A and B are shown apart, each in its own frame.
Chain A
Amino acid sequence: MNKDLYKYILGIADNSLILAQRLGELCGHGPTLETDIALTNISLDLLGQTRSYYQYAAKLAGEDKTEDDIAFLRIEREYKNVLLVEQPNTHFGHVMARQFLFDVYHLMLMEQLQNSKDETLVAIAKKGIKEVSYHKRFSSDWVKRLGDGTEESKEKVQEAINAMWRFTDELFDVMEADKVMIEEGIAVDVSEMKETYYEKVSELLEEATLEVPERKYFTRGGKRGVHTEHMGYLLADLQYMQRTYPNMTW
């Protein structure tokens, strides 16, 4: 098996799964019926992407591995998602700030991934790009609405952006496996996206009449499997059935 490719795929796919899981918690609890539908829709898109990546990774791993083994039987230290996507849904402002900061990155990544030398990744990116552009439109519109809405909403979304900001720098970290894959023309060199990312995000925050936080102190670890304390609870929920009733068909 190409271990570096396997790791690279999980590094992307885990972000989609964990964010889908977070959005899935919100079902029926949104501020309007329309946002409920939209957030479920985004969750479903991300889960669909996850499944495509995991199916590909399972095929690489061989030994009858399935997408479900990858999702339900890895421990916290083996999950490679960035810390940003595992942050809790504290309130709608946090949900939108997290989504927005991830979507801008995700769309850039998908655009680049279309140029990969790996055909399967190209196919997944081509399908995903339409979905991710929709996600980005939804989350940036809401950041604008909340930022340039009422005093209260401005304060709340600013606080949420500030809270999520320290997790953004990790998005551009390049792992050892990624380096090998970049060499082979398969992976996207995310470190090269960094400046453009912050330009795009800053432009939108300004349009939303919000302050762009200082780029000074950042937190990282997710890509190395060292997560925040939220992650264990999230996986406990996600994996409960497979851990309690192993080796069954559902």
Chain B
Amino acid sequence: MADVRPLTLRVPEPAVRPGGTPVFADIATSEAGAVRRPPIDVAADDIRDLAYAIIRVLDDEGRAVGPWAGTRDDAEALEGLRHMMTLRAFDARMLMAQRQGKTSFYMQHLGEEAVSCAVQRALEPGDMHFPTYRQAGLLVAAGYPLTTMMNQIFSNAEDPLHGRQLPIMYSSKAFGFFSISGNLATQYIQAVGWAMASAIKGDTRIAAAWIGDGATAEPDFHAALVFASTYRAPVMLNVVNNQWAISTFSGLARGSSATFAARGHGFGIPALRVDGNDYLAVHAVARWAAERARANLGPTLIEYVTYRAGAHSTSDDPSAYRPKAEFDAWPLGDPVERLKRHLIARRAWSEERHRQGEAEILDTILAAQREAEAHGTLHSGPRPSARDMFEGVYATMPPHLRRQRQEAGY
């Protein structure tokens, strides 16, 4: 036993910490257009390599190339650009509103706008998304009123959730956006259940599950993959790998040892890995998975490779755990800039029209904000009734809650 040395525990560390020079050596980006597009009825085993590649459509010159190109025409791509610009501007205004004390909390999408905005356009009305707190692009791209989003953020008198929920935990059945929970990963298996229900009823609607890289470590992720595979549920299983779970890098959830997409193969689920900052690639891949699900061919796991450019939330300071300039070094760039460049290259857009567009979008958002603030903000103006606090716990109020409401003075 003389040669047995004491064991040591490995605690993974990101390649670089604050003060260091950002590197992304482990992001092996594929060439745009280089990854093949299999038929939607492909067997999971036949596309194992796609879980380790990155599907990209937009090349460095802004051209849309390869077999995944062509799911969006110029008008649709322009619409996508507008959605992403709107989400970015909305984020900036709400970040400011939080700093001004108009709300308690906010979470941005900076750098990840393409993912939710593009996937939204790949599904149909009636389908149901089970989002996390970082997919507001699903609402923006669906045309959900910005004022209503702000009413929720401000917890004001017109908040559709009557002030019961933390800001950004939106809910809209009509817009196919399932109620957001603070508990991570729970919605992933719920999406599978919703999809199973659609199949049980012989419906044609499909579900989309959403999760971040960090939350894949939760057991609900595993349960969702088992159930989705076992029952061949019509669900798109989205993993948004933005490299960071608050302060922990994706390697802590083992995103570097094998890709998150590769997890699907342990369950016989076909998996795709896509450039999350390439609006056209995201749309194409999501459409592929949606067609597959709707054709009763079962689930698809998709990993969107992106980067969380902003702070985790308004309560977070990323400079404490990662280099400040890391986003500048991110090899997949900025989704807004890349789609803009594509549209300019196609002469469907210009720098000038982009600036105009930004100004118009800001006007729209400011108008929405004025309207929302007229209904109150967290600490001033009209607010939801305290009486409302007791409503909706049950379908009908049981006697003990009636007593408590009375005791509270309502």
Pair from one complex: no
